[in-house]
Amino acid sequence: MSKKSTYLLGILLTIIIGTLLYWYLCCSICCNKQSCEVNKNEQEVTSDLSTEPDVKEPTFFPFSIKDANGDLSLSFDESFNFEKSKFIILDSISTELNDVIVNIKEYFDANGNKRFNITGFYTSDEINNSAFPNLGLARANSVKNYMVSKGISSKLINIFGELNDEMVTDANNVFNGPVKFDVFTRTEESSAKDEELKAACEAIKENPLMLYFKTGAASINLTAEQRQKFADIARCVDKLDLKIQVVGHTDNTGTPEGNMTLGQNRADFVKDYLVSNGILQENIQTSSEGQNQPIADNVTEEGRAKNRRIAVTIN
């Protein structure tokens, strides 16, 4: 091979080797400083964006009540608000919304066969610290009580609770307007339901809500069944003008006089609990039987535990 051919072959090999080195080492040498670094940053930004949680807009339910078969149609860009996991209405209600409620009262006063439902919403991740089966029902009851305070009869109002996991709180952890209103006209079926309610209330008289206390203690922790019975009692009071009777009972530990006082204290404690859960104070009567009406033998601890009770009934 001539020197000239060897020289040309060397140039060709140099080009080939250089090209290969360029492809293999680009991203680690030159691209790393320029385009590869840009690509890397873009990937990191894209990754960060993909892991950010979706930010949902707070939900808002404006006040609205309409009778599809009548002349009532009222709406207002304000409503009843509640903190998350709470059932007490937040803040004072504006004069304008109170005027709307006055119009509602006038409509139902003039239309005796009309009634309306209040449905309170709640989410599955809320903590229910009310005595009601769910926070939606407790919120509806709070709104019902507010309307009763404005002169609307509780007999005209039914309350319900409804799960709504689409609700989103605002920046202050508040649900804005989680209630809805539905107007309906009484029918023969409604009258039949009234009779069913009367029968259910009579059953409560025969089988009161029973709450039990440890010796010297005064605390309440309702079961799901007890919460439902509480809601039934509240409905009987609203619809049939009944009163709640709270009677305190004790075991025979201590003196008869002391136990009479203890039973009264426990009854008063339960009354306060009922009031804090939306039962009007004037609808509750308390008394004590002390150790005078045992339902089990005080000789055993099991019997004494049964005797330390509060009976919540209606009359």
Per-residue pLDDT 10s for the chain (315 aa) are 565 566 556 666 666 665 665 555 554 444 454 444 545 455 554 555 455 667 789 999 999 999 999 999 999 999 999 999 999 999 888 999 999 999 999 999 999 999 999 999 999 999 999 999 999 999 999 999 999 999 999 999 999 999 999 999 999 999 999 999 999 999 888 778 888 899 999 999 999 999 987 655 556 788 999 999 999 999 999 999 999 999 999 999 999 999 999 999 999 999 999 999 999 999 999 999 999 999 999 999 999 999 999 999 999
Cut 0.75: pTM above it? yes
Total number of domains in the chain: 2
190-191-194-199 Cα dihedral, nearest 10 degrees: -130
Does residue 29 sit within a domain?
A: no
Do the domain assignments include residue 245?
Answer: yes
- Regarding whether 304 and 231 lie in a shared domain, the answer is yes
Whether residue 1 is contained in a domain is answered as no
Provide DSSP, 28-85.
HHTGGGTHHHHHHHHHHHHHHHHHSPP-PPPPB--EEEE-TTSS-EEEES---EEETT
Q: Is residue 38 part of a domain?
A: no
Domain final residue, candidates 147, 164, 186: 186
Question: Is residue 7 in some structural domain?
Answer: no
* 55 occurs within a structural domain: no
202 and 180 both lie in a single domain: no
Q: Are residues 170 and 83 in the same domain?
A: yes
Choose one of 129, 154, 186: the last residue of a domain. 186
Segments forming the whole domain that contains residue 68: 63-186
Q: Which of 73, 72, 74, 71 is nearest to 98 (CA)?
A: 74
**What CATH number does the domain containing 115 carry?**
3.30.1330
Residues 231 and 288 occupy one common structural domain: yes
| Residue 245 and residue 166 share a domain | no
In this structure, the answer to whether residues 170 and 70 fall within a common structural domain is: yes
CATH of the domain at 200: 3.30.1330.60
Question: What is d(CA 116, CA 118) in angstroms, rounded to the nearest whole number?
Answer: 7
121 occurs within a structural domain:
yes
Same domain, 302 and 277: yes
Closest CA to 238 of 129, 145, 108: 145
Which of 163, 186, 209 is where one domain is finished? Answer: 186
Q: Could you tell me if residue 47 is inside a domain?
A: no
